[in-house]
Chain A
Amino acid sequence: MDIIKINNVGFGYSYIDEDSNKTMKTETLKNINLNIETGEFVAILGHNGSGKSTLAKIMNALLLPDSGEALIIGLNPSNESNIFEIRRNVGMVFQNPDNQIIATIVEEDVAFGPENLSIPPDKIRPRVDSALKNVGMENFALANPAYLSGGQKQRVAIAGVLAMKPKCIIFDESTAMLDPNGRKEVLDTAIKLNKEDKITIILITHFMDEATLADRVIVVNDGQAVMGGPPKSIFSQINELKALSLDVPQITELAYLLSEKGLNINTDILTIEEMVGALCNYN
């Protein structure tokens, strides 16, 4: 079953054209089509301004399509009575951890979501505890978020989403501001939530190495989904990706360079282990 269906969705932001003084609209999403299956781990790639974040906001009804249809957990966000159900089920973790933490104590921040859903207090406590445990932050329940590292703050933000018991979590460049350790913490958490708790994960990122962890990669360019498939089939198309301002993981780049030099090496190699295997068995 598809948890998210985006059919021919168009979306633009309004602005006032200075020359004519008329209200105009950008063409940020142009009849984009894509489906995301329940339980999938999907990475979305695309250069700055390609429409990735707008797409993410359509997916949890922060924005509504101008044309076409979005169906999220089977519900149409254009019907206002569906919006809360959609947002409860599709959580979002943003880029800057400091922009999404609102309380002065970690557990209060995590409780904010369920409180807003009018869940009775005695039911909130177990949700908060289990959400913090799930992201490995249970020892920081009473800490002040201001004193946490970037990776820890993002894990608190994830716990805040988890406390709403979502079916899907969208990570909108949630690792962009983190150091390598922080990035690993967030990614490990995302993988665990996908594998163990069967939560659908949508990972929007500029780090090609992160995208190799996904089941499927979707490339967005100029408001449309232009490529889609397993990481191996996407990253072996190095020239197409570079033309879209993207890149490939370093190991894949090496495979490409070797095959350019005339060696018989597959260009869909993503990991060090695969590369070592290919070189050991060369000839």
Chain B
Amino acid sequence: MQLQLDGVNYVYSEGTAFEKKALGNINLNIGKGEFVAIIGHTGSGKSTLIQHFNGLIKPTSGKVLFEGADIHENKKLLKTTRQKIGLVFQYPEAQLFEITVFKDVAFGPLNMGLSKEEADVRTRNALEIVGINECDFEKSPFELSGGQKRRAAIAGVLAMNPEILVLDEPTAGLDPRGRDEILFKIKEMRDKLNITIILVSHSMEDVAKLADRVIVMSDGHIVMDGTVKEVFREVGALSKIGLAAPKISYLMKALKEKGFDVPIDIYTPNEAADIIYNLLTRQKSKSGGAK
């Protein structure tokens, strides 16, 4: 397994009046090239969990293993792990600081000790992957649009050549086109670069569209872990912990209750359109089959 969490517990402000158990007995394996979504309401422990992935937080007990090695075993290993597991925080554009887009993205690789030539190559590649045009390279990052800024910030992490990319709510606050652009680029990165993607999201529609596997967090625990279909099928359990399945699945369920012969584990408008179309045209040809 590429990334493994073994009995991880985490307690905030241990020994003080504000002591709070944030993670309880987390066991998790993520394999190379997986596209995993992590969902859960605010305060469920998602952000605490992902900060364990690259050692920003050290577990109170338990182990985090990257390619089989305990990342906290020594400082050197921790440092290389942080380069291999890239974390894109919420609103990453707040971290843009350089005078040009290019310099901002090049900061990470240069800081890793790469030569200027190597860093330039990586910077170009990263900017190309996220879809920033060459004519914008020398602009101030603050002249970019909201969606472009966000993509430039992601390029800064990509330029470190991570093997795992963790994104915390990458589309929050973006307009629909900006959101679609980022999601499309993320999917492309996974397909082209074969890197593992871990996506934290509040948008069940986005999760349904992109992820292979969904991990559901509640109250510091993993309460569900399965494929998109397996997890979103559990509508009752999800709503109990303050989550919902994608809207389309509620439609399919309502149709089923009305006697339509439709599957209920459908989560995108495209899939639903095909199924409903086939159903209605078939009914029509059977003559008088209107419901």
Contacts and interface: CB of A to CB of B under 8 A. Distances in A.
Given A250-B205, A275-B251, A48 B147 contact: yes
Interface in A139-161: 149-151
A245 B251 contact: no
Interface in B250-285: 250-251, 254-255, 258, 260, 269-270, 272-273, 276-277, 280-281, 284
B178 A279 contact: no
A1 interface: no
Contacts of A253: 269
Contacts of A181: 41-42, 242
Interface string A170-193: 000100111111100000000000
Contact of B202 (A180, A206, A251): A180
Interface residues of A, number: 39
Given A49-B145, A276-B258, A279-B280, A179 B176 contact: no
Nearest to B146: A48
A279 B277 contact: no
Q: How large is the interface on B (under 10, 10 to 19, 20 to 34, 35 or more residues)?
A: 35 or more
Given A261-B277, A263-B277, A254 B251 contact: yes
Contact of A48 (B41, B145, B251, B276): B145
Nearest to B242: A181
A33 B133 CA distance: 35
Contact of B41 (A173, A179, A251, A279): A179
Interface in A229-283: 245-247, 249-251, 253-254, 257-258, 261, 263, 272-273, 275-276, 279-280, 282-283
Contact of B176 (A206, A273, A282, A283): A206
A261 B290 CA distance: 18
A247 B180 CA distance: 10
Interface string B179-215: 1100000000000000000000010110000000000
Nearest to A176: B173
B176 A208 contact: yes
Contact of B43 (A149, A177, A208): A149
A248 to B, nearest CB: 9
Contacts of A275: 251
A87 interface: no
A247 B176 contact: yes
A173 B246 contact: no
B246 A250 contact: yes
A100 interface: no
A134 interface: no
Contacts of B146: 48-49
Nearest to B244: A180
Nearest to B181: A245
B96 interface: no
B130 interface: no
Given A178-B42, A182-B42, A276-B255, A254 B272 contact: yes
Given A254-B273, A261-B277, A263-B280, A246 B176 contact: yes
- Nearest 6 Cβ contacts at the A-B interface: A245-B177, A247-B176, A257-B273, A48-B146, A47-B175, A254-B269
13 contacts: A47-B178, A48-B145, A48-B175, A49-B145, A180-B202, A182-B41, A182-B42, A206-B175, A246-B175, A250-B247, A263-B280, A276-B258, A279-B260
Given A179-B41, A250-B269, A251-B251, 16 more contacts: A47-B175, A47-B178, A48-B175, A149-B42, A150-B42, A179-B42, A180-B41, A180-B202, A181-B42, A208-B176, A263-B277, A272-B247, A272-B250, A272-B251, A273-B254, A279-B255
Interface of B: 41-43, 145-147, 172-180, 202, 204-205, 242-244, 246-248, 250-251, 254-255, 258, 260, 269-270, 272-273, 276-277, 280-281, 284, 290-291
